[in-house]
A and B are shown apart, each in its own frame.
Chain A
Amino acid sequence: MPLKPLKLLVIAGRRGRVTVKYPYKEPIVTPEFRGEVEIDPAKCIGCGACVKACPPNALEIVESEREIILRYFVGRCIFCWRCVDVCPVGAIKGTRNFELATDKYTDLYTLVAHSRVTCEACGKPVETTRMRRYVVEKVQVAEEYVYLCPDCRRRVFAERVSARRVGSSELEEQ
């Protein structure tokens, strides 16, 4: 049965105003809400773990001769925070910020540029400077393999193994 107008007015008056005054007042955001992620450039090592974990490829690695750029495009981000979970150094932090509306496409990007180190054998650019330092600190038994690119690493390792197999005398003859 529909309410009569007078009765409706009484109920509405008792209930008061429900509309939130959002743009003029703070929004109601729960602590569990997931918003945009923030990359800390002081901690990021440019390893690309977040890029592998990102379902919509919002985080991408862009490689050039000189540097490796971690590109975060918030316009494609689905705010799953997988990158926050997988980051080995804790450089990615989740925020509750959702006020991202903009009229310029480029505003949606966050870029973190890393310099690259080169392979000591062939001079090809490999991983980022910080990534190499991180590996050297973590793995102390890696010897000089850590300063090589993957191709040279394989070649040098095969040379050493074959030298052990056939003995050093044959190599000296060559």
Chain B
Amino acid sequence: MKRSIWVFHLNTGSCNACDIEVLDVLTPFHDAERFGVKLVTSPRHADAILLTGPVTAESLPKVINAIEAVPRPRIIIALGSCGCGGGIWHDTYSTIGGVNKLLEILKERGIVVDAVYYVPGCPIRPEALLYAVASIKGIVSKKREMKIYKAE
């Protein structure tokens, strides 16, 4: 993606650790605006959604509304272990457990999500988010790959 990525920060019931790291990324020290990243106040102006938290059942309808409002192509950047896989809340009754279940629900409703980026970390380092942004822009190459070992 060559354009500047304008992001909408969507907290879906996270503990605020990832949110503070998102603020950290926007300070002059890390300065994500080098890559054209800018926080916007409405999902209608956004290219990507920074999704933090394990998507609680209470926040689910609002999350769906917010994602539906983003114009195509939509990108979801799932932050932290809660966003990626539900974190330590992955099997609790009040959360749906991360972005993958959310994608299933969105698919049922016919809402297309063009790309999903996973940024693991608990909380994420500011550099990890910068790395994700840089990999969306194509500046750095992907390091993590699926590893399969055969031990006897």
Name the B residues within 8 Å of A105 (CB-CB).
100, 116, 118
Q: Is the CB of B152 closer than 8 A to any CB of chain A?
A: yes
Interface residue range, chain A: 35 or more
Number of A-B contacts (CB under 8 A): 142
Q: Which of B29, B98, B116 contacts A103 (CB 8 A)?
A: B116
Which residues of B (87-132) have their CB < 8 Å from a CB of A?
87-88, 90-91, 98, 100, 115-122, 124-125, 127-132
Known interface pairs A100-B119, A112-B149. Does A56 touch B90 (Cβ–Cβ under 8 Å)?
Answer: yes
Which residues of A (85-124) have their CB < 8 Å from a CB of B?
97-103, 105-115
Q: Which of A39, A46, A102 contacts B144 (CB 8 A)?
A: A102
Task: Write the chain B residue with the least CB distance to A80.
Answer: B122
Q: For A56, A75, A112, which residue has the most chain B Cβ atoms within 10 angstroms?
A: A75
Main secondary structure of the interface of A (DSSP, over half): loop
Report whether A108 and B29 are in contact in the complex, using a CB–CB cutoff of 8 Å.
no
Bound: A108/B143 CA distance, A: 11
Bound: A128/B31 CA distance, A: 50
Name the B residues within 8 Å of A78 (CB-CB).
81, 87-88, 122
Task: Write the chain A residue with the least CB distance to B119.
Answer: A101
Which residues of A (7-61) have their CB < 8 Å from a CB of B?
18-20, 22-23, 27, 36, 39, 41-42, 44, 46, 55-58
Known interface pairs A23-B131, A55-B88. Does A130 touch B146 (Cβ–Cβ under 8 Å)?
Answer: no
Known: A76-B90, A100-B120. 16 other contacts (CB 8 A): A46-B151, A56-B81, A73-B85, A76-B98, A76-B120, A77-B81, A78-B87, A78-B122, A101-B131, A101-B144, A103-B116, A103-B117, A105-B100, A107-B118, A107-B144, A109-B146
25 CB contacts below 8 A, A to B, read A19-B29, A19-B30, A22-B130, A23-B131, A58-B81, A73-B85, A76-B86, A76-B87, A78-B88, A97-B143, A98-B128, A99-B127, A100-B144, A101-B120, A103-B117, A103-B118, A103-B135, A103-B142, A105-B116, A105-B118, A107-B118, A107-B142, A108-B84, A111-B146, A128-B152
